[in-house]
Copies of this chain bind each other. A is one copy, B any other.
Amino acid sequence: MPEQIFSYQQLFNFTKAVFQKIGCSDAHAGIATTSLISADVRGIDSHGIARLSGYVRLWEAQRINATPAIKVIHETPSTAVVDGDKGLGLVVAPFAMQIAIEKAKQAGTGWVSVQNSNHFGIAGHHAMMALEHDMIGIAMTNASPLVAPTFSVDKMLGTNPICVAAPAGNEPAFVADLATTTAANGKLEILQRKNLETPSGWVQDKYGNPSNDPHELKKGGALLPLGGDREHGSHKGYALGAVVDIFSALLSGANYAPWVPPFPAYVPMPTQQPGKGIGHFLGAMRIDAFRSADDFKKSMDHWIQGFRSAKTVPGEEKVLIPGDPEREMEADRLKHGIPLLNMVINDLEEVASKFNLLLPKQHI
């Protein structure tokens, strides 16, 4: 695919300038940019700067408030509910995660459910905030309805990701960051560009029949829960996606199920709105609320080394630890730059000209 390479700092500066142009404070623009670009750095290209123009369009449609008064509206020693005041999820989620971390310092754990927010980028970024505090971090969010539960034709859930990040000692942290679908939308886009079919169990058509067409979502079809079909455990992926929805939205008072606001600004809001905005759920567990952090991290190292030295199936070099591919990508991209597809660059050029900004020249 035609692409150009940019440095992290180039993309950071441009993105931050855009967030400032829509009215974000310097502090919020910095937080939002760090959240957003963490996706590009970690190789989750579908959730990074490629979505910047989408955020701008949501702001133009007055669905995003660039100067939110984010606040705690209910709390106990280990819990809080945060009202994001229609802010960028990229800002609201780190705010909520920070509260979870503070609660965990006092009460052992902290759990924050968030209403009235917007798309928060990648779950991993928020969950990983806990690591430097010797805490386990947890992040979830609901999302636009693209997923048909087992036996359903209707799209009732988003890709509803779950991230759990746990610190290790000498080994790098364990970071499991997964959509509760067989495959996320970004993977469909890759197949679309390559003109390839999807494997079984990724999508169904608008009648609920199995399909291998990566364009199926645009034709009224749906993504499928992890498992793909009943015989392969899709009721489990569906149940996990439902848990994310309950924790993120039913505990907070956000919209849920098919009533979650869509990310594309051109898609009309659902006529029914049972809550406010979209919902997130952030958690932090202080390791030494259970056990000495040193002992835990030694055990994590031992656990990780055990998996790394497991015998592999024919044709595979090693058993991966959750977080390995993203961390390797991060090391590579921070050193060699971040490639953007020309279609993404064109999109950013439009954003640049809208705000009288200059998109940086490619780095390499």
Contacts and interface: CB of A to CB of B under 8 A. Distances in A.
Nearest to A229: B199
Contacts of A154: 310-311
Number of copies: 2
A21 interface: no
B242 A176 contact: yes
A207 B316 CA distance: 12
A176 B240 contact: yes
Contact of A312 (B152, B247, B299): B152
Given A156-B306, A303-B256, A232 B243 contact: no
Q: Which of A182, A258, A291 has the most CB of B within 10 A?
A: A291
Interface string A233-272: 1011111101101110011110011100000000000000
Interface residues of A, number: 90
A233 to B, nearest CB: 5
A272 to B, nearest CB: 9
B251 A287 contact: yes
Contacts of A75: 108
Contacts of A106: 77
B303 A250 contact: yes
Nearest to A249: B299
A280 to B, nearest CB: 13
A331 interface: no
B296 A152 contact: no
Interface of A: 74-79, 81, 106-109, 111, 113, 136, 148-154, 156, 162, 164, 166, 174, 176, 178-183, 199-201, 204, 207-209, 226-228, 231-233, 235-240, 242-243, 245-247, 250-253, 256-258, 274-275, 285-287, 289-291, 295-296, 299-300, 302-303, 306-307, 310-314, 316, 318-320, 322
List 3 tightest A-B contacts by C-beta distance, closest first. A208-B313, A76-B108, A176-B239
